Amino acid sequence: MSDNVPDKRTWFYDGLTPDLGMVHRVDTFLYSGRSTYQSIEVIKTRSFGTCLVLDGKIQSSEADEFVYHEALVQPVMTAHPSPKKVLIAGGGEGATLREVLRHKTVEQVTMVDLDDEVVRVCRQYLPAFSAGAFDDPRTRLVVGDARAYIEQCEQQFDVIIIDLPDPLEAGPAQLLYTREFYSAVRARLAPGGAMAVQSESSRWYDLKAFAAIVRTLQDVFTFVAPYQVHMPSFSSLWGFTLASDTIQPTGISADEIDSRIANRVSGSLSAYDGLSHVGMFAIHKHIREAARQAGRIVTDASLLDVY
């Protein structure tokens, strides 16, 4: 293109770290608005299809959301022998809910999300993400603060899945990444229960939050297993953590995972199977070492010191 001819294409800049970003060519801005808590946009990009953007950062993309949501949900659901009652904290797109409901053993899913406007926008502009999950009779949607709900409710759950915004910015989301919060989650798990949490970037040069989440969980649970997948729309390895007092996911063979999927999961999974399960938990040595050195226990009183 000549220097004298303006570039009429529209671009969206997604800041990944203070020193690194990703630029997406945009075809259409489908929605732009603001809720009580955050800005909400839905954009259609050339490379990743339709994307949900919260506070200027891509949260999910049409092209690869299945990788993220299967990674978050399927290992913990499959590792549990028979998950019947499940709690989801966050997950406004409905894709986490969709993946939980694939399991034939599930009798009830309670989803607690603070921002009902995100849920509304996603149901309208990203219906394929939830694929009808909000209308499933097993779904109970609660609009409210997930920490308050978990601390106050008396019900126990077989699996609890934490799918919340980044803890990096000062704000209420940070209070859902602390030792006190994870202790409350542990108290809400039924005997033999397990939890999974999205655990931020696991890039080798950006491990502060990932390491802190893992280290904090290790102070609460007996078995803590971090794992990761590559997310193209995040231009990054992305971390997750499975924690339990009884379940050790790295001890389950690929063949056993495949058998459980075949017997318990409706439909066909696109990213997760037995071989993928084994690979997810095989984190490279340099990342393990860097995370170990960076890991700090997060408490309600130490939020800004860690993040």
Dist. CA 196–CA 163, nearest whole Å = 9
Is 163 tagged catalytic?
yes
Helix 65-79 / helix 254-264 crossing angle, nearest 10 deg = 100
The phi and psi torsions of 139 (rounded to 5 degrees) equal -90, 135
Dist. CA 210–CA 240, nearest whole Å = 8
Measured over all CA atoms, what is the biggest interatomic distance in the chain, rounded to whole angstroms? 68
SS3 state at 290 = helix
Dist. CA 250–CA 278, nearest whole Å = 7
The upper half-sphere exposure of residue 57, i.e. CA atoms within 13 Å in the direction of its Cβ, equals: 15
Dist. CA 235–CA 48, nearest whole Å = 12
Give the chain's radius of gyration (CA, Å). 19
Catalytic residue among 14, 64, 158, 163: 163
Instruction: Residue 195: name the closest of 157, 143, 238 by CA.
Output: 157
Give the pairing type, strands 189-201 and 236-244.
Answer: antiparallel
- Amino acid at position 203, single letter: R
Q: Catalytic residue positions?
A: 163
